[in-house]
Structure 1
Amino acid sequence: MESKKSYTPIKVLISYVALLALVVTVGWFLYSENQVYKKLEDKIAFEKTKILRVSKLFSNVYKTESLARQTIQNNSDKDFKNYIIESDSLRLRIDTLKRIVTTQYQKTLLDSVTFLLSEKTKNIKQLKEIKNKADDEVSVNTAIDEITKMEFNLRKLELQDFNKNPNQLGAYQRNVLQKYVDYLNQNIPDDSTNTLSKRASDSILANSKKLLSNVKLRAEKKKESLNFEENKLLQNEMAISDQLRKVLRIIEREIIINSIKNNSLKEKSLKRVNDIVTASAMIGLLLTVFFSILIVVDSSKSQLYKKQLEIANFKTKNLLKSREQLISTVSHDLKTPLSTIVGYSELLGNSDVNTKQSYFIKNIKNSSEYITQLVQDLLDFSQIEAGKISIEKVPFLLPEIIETVATNIQTVYKQKDIKLIINIEKRLNSRIVGDPFRLKQILTNIIGNAYKFTESGHIKIEAFISDDPRFFAITIEDTGIGIEKGNQKLVFEEFAQANENIEKQYGGTGLGLSICQKIISILGGTLSLESTFGKGSTFEIELPLLFDNSKSVVEEVKKPTFTNTKKQTFIVVDDDINLLNLTSGVLRQENHQVLSFNSAQKALEAAQTTPFDFVITDIQMPEIDGFLFLEKLKNAPNGVYKNQPVIALTGRTDLDFSVYSNAGFTTVVKKPYSPKILLETIHHILDNDEIPNIEIKEFEDTNSSQLYSLGTLNEFLGNDNDAVKEVLKSFIDSSIESLGFLETAIAEKNTEEIKSIAHRIAPMFKQIQAREIGEIFKKLEKDEYEVSEMPSAFSTLKTKTDALFAALKQELV
């Protein structure tokens, strides 16, 4: 499908940038307007402060005018003092206001207010003086009244007799009155005996009245003059007050005008802010809608592309699955006739043939082996790509694996003058846990390449514990053709080789090292290469190191002799009649008494009546499995179970040894197993006072390339050909019958029946080392095939078993 480049992230980024730019721009404008607004707020607050102070000035002015009128009316010194205090306070307020006004005109007006206040104070003082002068007439009138009274009573006179507050009189009035009092006092007789005549007194009083009348006349004339001045000053006072209020109103009006102007500017600023916010909201909405439409359109396209990709992916998976099935089917279908070709080639090679025929047979065999290897590589590559490769974790001896693989390959290339050197660190002589089959596969490929590309010199294989003790390393060094530095990475790629001449001269598919690297990666290790062109190559394999800490009797020891072993009575239980016969046969060869049963229930019934020393039982059996069998045996009446040793036989790999030991089993032997393993296990248990809990692993398949091997079967039957043939005949017949049941179960898609049949018949195939067939049964038992894959898997299985049975029937002839 054509690749579509998505611009959605760019559009989203642009939309965010545009919105961010809008936010920044609007923020800047709002910030600027906010600063202007704050300044206007400050100005308005300042103008309000001035208005407040002017209002207080008005209040103070009215108060001073009130005090001024009160002073003028009462002519009181106390009122005058209050007026002076209030006037001083008013001046201070004017000075304060003057400091905060902003225009020179306002300052000039305030100066004029101060001046008018001063003039006002002067006027009031002058009015107060005029008022005092006006009081003189009152004093004269009072004096005349008092003289009239004195006509009846002559005595010494004082100023207080004529005026209650003489100190408040003007200097002129007080002097005139004082002269008159002195005059009167001069003419008053000193005592009652010194009396004036009525005529004399009347003369004195008449003169006094005349004198005072003259004074009154002059005072009235002066009063008229003072009244004129007072009226003039009062008019001046009124003009000053009006002027003062007028000036304050001018100042107030100017301040109010400034406040109104600032409020107008404030409203305009708020309007601008509102316009900016509204415009930005509209622009933001438009941008959001615009980019949302773009993104939705892109999202729709993305969904369409995603759907197309899903369809393409589905098709690709189907193609890969089809390819995998094709490779698997073709590989399996090819391997059977190839095995037949190789087998018959060997038979022909061992028969009487002439030189020419021998040459033909050799070429047929070489070509068959090449195709067989190609098919196996394709099958392995397909399984790895599909993630279906199975990895085991069993104990094995590394030196055995290395020496077996190396010597087998050396035998193939014995015509070449190549020295084989093997050095293995002593610490690796103990059993380690891993997958010996995969390790053999890796070593076979790399060591085989070393021999293929080396004509002379040596091949050195070394095994040692790495600098990191969690890993061990195997190096394969050769003195072959080497690999150019620029082509070293190519050797690990699929269907690739160091150069085009390699395939022409040496052959090969270019899959081997790629498969090795993938398997090593799955095992948790690494594969590296160092090479010098023309001088040789060194491959280093590094894999996780895990020592087997469990005790095992399957060491490289001499076969124990059982002739002196006390004869035992064994109960053997296995639902697979072939393995039951094999196990029983091995024990009978050692002269043990054997009670064999293919039903756990029958074994329990026999245990009630027959004493026994040992129990060997299969685990997975119908109706009563090995665990339930042991539990029933322990709980059987009459105390038939007296802690006799019990060995579990099983092909299961999903349970830990602790599961078996907790159930009461003495040890576990994994299927397939050899007679040697079984007898060594029994011997080890019988030779120990305390029965140890040991787990015996399945034996190694050293000839995995063969279709089958009867080695262990011969061991079981003591190389008795007739017995072997009998077992093989029984095995073939029972297996054909079971395969019929298996085919029916697959057709009916009965998963449980498929697993049960696969478990029952798989061990015997493994026992004769028919590894490929055993692997298919293992996958069927673990339900690793899809329902749709089972018919194809059974077809492959049928082809392989038919070939196996055909070969086994040749053994019967």
Structure 2
Amino acid sequence: MIDTKRPFLTINIIVLAAILLGCLFYSVVQLQSLNQLTSRPFLAIINNNLGIKTKLMSLQLTAQHFSDLPTTSNLHRLKMQYKIIRGSINNDLKSDVTGNFHQVHGETGKLIELQEYLDQLGYVLPMSIDDKSNIKQFNTLLAQARRLWNQYSQQVIHSAQKQSKDMHDSWNHSLKIQIYLLAIIGGISLTGLIIISRQLSVQRRMSQTLKEQTIALIDARNAAEESTRAKSRFLSNMSHEIRTPLNGIIGLTNLARQKAIKPEVINYLDKVILSSDTLLHVINDILDVSKIESGKLELEITQVDIADVLERISATMSANARNKALNVYFLVEPEVPAYFQGDPARLQQIITNLVSNAIKFTHEGFIQLKVSFHQASQQLNITITDTGVGIDEKAMDKLFTEFNQGDLSTTRKYGGTGLGLSIVKSLTELMDGTVDVSSSLDVGTCFTIKLPIEASASRVLDIKCSNLDLTTKAVHIIDMSKTANQEAQATLQRTGITFETLNTAQQLLIEFPPLHSKEDLDYIVMLLEQHPDKTAYVLGYPDQLLELSAITPLSFYGIESPFNSIRITECIATETSHHSEASAHIEKQDFNGKHVLLVEDSPINQMIAQEMLDLFGLRVTTADNGEIAADKAEIDHFDLILMDIQMPEMDGVEATKLIRTKGMNQRTPIVALTANVMSEDVKLYKEVGMDSHLPKPFKPDELISTLEMYLNETQASNMRLDN
């Protein structure tokens, strides 16, 4: 403790001595400043007085010159000289130095008298060269003004000299008192410095403590961030480990389904695919929650085609709805913009989660998705209504909480992770929107999503059915539930379609029951036979429409379920069918022997991918790791490279770097074929030179889309090079 105080005491003594010396120096400076303060105004007033005297003399000389030689030029010079000198003298008399000095040492009345003389000079200023009397009077008044100023100036200067001497004497007598006061101040300063030094010591100890606490907080934050990164790495690794065998399951099941003949086998395989999709959905939900928690979930803003989004949702939801014999209705108001800026994948995820939930918790009735647009607020409104079990009011507060499903009985009965609604809320808020819910037990639930969008001037129906007159379409709807029938008619009527009775309508819209029997088919055939003069549209699932077309020679237009107002409006307007088989797309693909390098270390995944590529008419070369792939890419040209990431010897990232630097495939499209789907992984793939990535497990349609994108681009590029 003593060693700590000694440096402070030494510093205090040095600082005190510096203060005392500074005070003495300050006294000397003050004395010099006093000299300047008393001498400067004195010199200034002398200069000022001399200046006024000189100006008056200059004016008198100009007047005398005019008296001796009265010419127009001299008269003009006299007038100008008078105006300039009068203004200058007025400024001198009103200046701070002159005004303050004369108030202390002189008589302000003399200054006023001088100004009066100057004013009178203006009255007697000659107006012409013949004005003799005025010039004489002008010279007289000017001489009187000069005499007045000479007498007054001498008086002021004498008074100022006397006051300056008195001030110097007073300062000299008070110098000793100032020194005593400075000594007292120095003592007080010494005491203050001692106190301050102790406070500084305390402050330094507190600062050291704060620094240690800050370091501890930084360490804790780093530990928390490392924990988050470790969790992300764990989820990424677990996702990869689950997706890799799941890719084999889905891939082999799809291949088996292509070759299956017996209906029961196809049914079993469809259920395997459905179960795999459910598992994949759970994995994606967990990864999304991880991204949301870490703040790494970002929107990819691009053009949204609302019709395309609903088509994709229809394709994924139709099987579940059919298995539960539920009617699903997608109603899009005519004023909804066809295109707007947003993230179509995340918008699809929001709607899919809500529709999937509605199907899960609804045993009978219908699910209705309604999309509308509020022009004034530029707001897209999405409402999902069901006739399901409803939600207890007590569970509303924690409905959007992660891993929550209202109560344990719900979890046991319906299953699921409880992440879907949490993700819906997070994604909606990320889009600056809101989500609301209303529900009644055993009546149903209604979710409402409100999203601000930047709308285009184009409308849905203008895009889908341009230059078509819908007012000539008189339609009758058969076998639709009452509530949905009213909503569907109201939506379609706003496009110009009218709804008439069965006898007066020119067209029929028949909704196929979700689960049909022989009697259902016979009933629809009977309707077609009874009204051969009417254009018939049958709304049903693909297999239902195929079976119906097989048992009747009568013509009809098939529209795939679920009910989609955009799709139905387009079909009615153009009188065309909207029906396709899911497997037909795979069989029709033929890429004319394009050469693909498949890099995959897993034998099962390699076999699955190769067989799919063979189905599309592609020539395939395989490589078991990145090193082999780089060697083959150096000596042979490929139209596309499908690159796995995690492989022995050399991974896909290093192999891509080698391919991009040498060989024949530096510009060949490279697609990462991987189970790593975290955003940082995808970013890395693009940085090393890959064009995109296809996450495992992938579906045949996803592989086809990738092949069409890059093989068509390759073909176009080759054509440009040839030209």
**TM-score scaled to structure 1, two decimals?**
0.38
Where relative contact order (Cα < 8 A, 6+ residues apart) is larger, the structure is 2
**TM-score scaled to structure 2, two decimals?**
0.42
